[in-house]
Amino acid sequence: MPLRLVVANKAYSSWSMRPWLLMAHFHIPFEETVVNIYDEAGRKKLRKLSPTGKAPVLYDGDLRVWESLAIIEYLAEKHPKLDIWPKKKAARAHARAISNEMHAAFMPLRQHCPTNFRREPKFRELTPEAAENVRRIEIIWAETREMFGSKKKPFLFGDFCAADAMFAPVVNRLHIYEAPVSPQSRAYMDAIMALPAWAAWHKDAAREKWREARYEEM
């Protein structure tokens, strides 16, 4: 029985994107259920599928795992031969630390610059708090690549891994709101957006029939 991943609207759901992108990149077979969380029928359906009423949720038979990082950890255990986390201990510990920071922090940036895969890039001036978030993210990227990256490979730890999946929605935010970033950060963002899995998610988001006015107007 294949895995089943329940996700919310691809145009706007940053949390859903993270495990979806990772599974697609590593060619882990799965079926998907996409739920429109902006109408009552969709929210009712999601409450039946998820103990929190939120997406994403991964089903492996009767086993159910929710929360993006927990899903990623489960996939890493289920597929130990895949380099979902870096193999070396120090790099793996660092990857988990920055992934957890991404999971828990950067609220000003999230609120001021919501994920939107329908939006064409257009400059939005950052609040001081959101700008500080961007500075911290750029420090994370630069320090990680300096300590664990590769000059020949574009991602945080050389090859794409779970940490890159965790930061992928931030790439969308920085890109569509044209946040000022360093050339090194821009090169990393371009590498993420060049992934076939990113292109597939973006295509699906553009084809969704559902639209949320709050985000479409921003």
Domain parsing of the chain, residue ranges: 3-82, 89-199
Q: What CATH class is the domain 3-82? A: alpha beta
Residue 103 near residue 181 (C-beta atoms within 8 A): no
Q: What's the rounded Cα separation, in Å, for the pair 7 and 25?
A: 16
> pLDDT-derived band of residue 95, with 50, 70 and 90 as boundaries?
very high
Q: What's the predicted TM-score (pTM) here?
A: 0.95
Sheet containing strand 30-35, strands side by side: 30-35, 3-8, 57-60, 63-66
User: What is 89-199's CATH number?
Assistant: 1.20.1050.10
What are the tens digits of pLDDT across the range 180-202? 999 999 999 999 999 999 999 99
What are the tens digits of pLDDT across the range 28-74? 999 999 999 999 999 999 999 999 999 999 999 999 999 999 999 99
Asked whether the predicted pLDDT for residue 217 surpasses 60, the reply is no
- Provide the 3-class DSSP secondary structure of residue 139: helix
> pLDDT-derived band of residue 214, with 50, 70 and 90 as boundaries?
low
